[in-house]
Chain A
Amino acid sequence: SYVLTQPPSVSVAPGKTARITCGGNNIGSKSVHWYQQKPGQAPVLVIYYDSDRPSGIPERFSGSNSGNTATLTISRVEAGDEADYYCQVWDSSSDHNVVFGGGTKLTVL
């Protein structure tokens, strides 16, 4: 089955840039979506189709996808960005049609 690998944690100072990676075999050939989940809350879509932002998501959030790595980039990080972030793809080659990464805890120092 297809596996998505994320770093368990990323730390960044306020105002700096955070980059959260999502690794997978030839993930560049798939569409990657990203979710933000704050404690006690449901996930919220922040990036879809690798790099598109839903309405209401700040321009500080961006995404890219190439080769074996997709990346969620958060510019000018704010305290309110502290959350867990998950990447997601579809894998029709196995019973696990939908695959989530293990999640990355973003800590704002």
Chain B
Amino acid sequence: EVQLVESGGGLVQPGRSLRLSCTASGFTFGDYAMSWVRQAPGKGLEWVGFIRSKAYGGTTEYAASVKGRFTISRDDSKSIAYLQMNSLKTEDTAVYYCTRIPVTTVNSWFDPWGQGTLVTVSS
């Protein structure tokens, strides 16, 4: 069974940093691009960014709202994707979902999704 499990969420003060992890199982992690999507309380889905597989350079893309503050990385040997979040703002408060990008095209969908981890940025 394909499974994604996020961890690392919690309460953090504005301006501080936090790193989320996404542990994958049930598929060959290194073959896939991975993405992070967030959802503020009571709001809709917002794409955060993604990282390509090593076969496609392992490069990253980010939403404008997080570019320069957030960094996505991956450790294929451990089947883990990371989201390093720096200079956190109160508006970054959200549930953060890890999700897989099943096909290597610019028109792909996201499937499956992890259960999410809540990040609360507050003083």
- Which A residues fall within an 8 A CB radius of B? 30-31, 33, 35, 37, 41-45, 48-49, 54, 84, 86, 88-90, 92, 95-103
Which of A41, A54, A96, A102 contacts B47, CB < 8 Å?
A96
CB distance B44 to A103 under 8 Å? yes
Q: Count A-B pairs with CB separation below 8 Å.
A: 67
CB distance B109 to A42 under 8 Å? no
- Which B residues fall within an 8 A CB radius of A? 35, 37, 44-47, 50, 61-64, 67, 97, 106-116
Which of A30, A31, A45, A102 contacts B110, CB < 8 Å?
A45
CB distance B67 to A42 under 8 Å? no
Q: When chains A and B are docked, how far (Å) is the Cα of A92 from the Cα of B97?
A: 22
Knowing A42-B114, A43-B113, A45-B111 touch, does A92 contact B45 (C-beta < 8 A)?
Answer: no
CB distance A86 to B109 under 8 Å? no
CB distance B64 to A96 under 8 Å? yes
Which of B46, B67, B109, B115 contacts A33, CB < 8 Å?
B109
CB distance A30 to B107 under 8 Å? yes
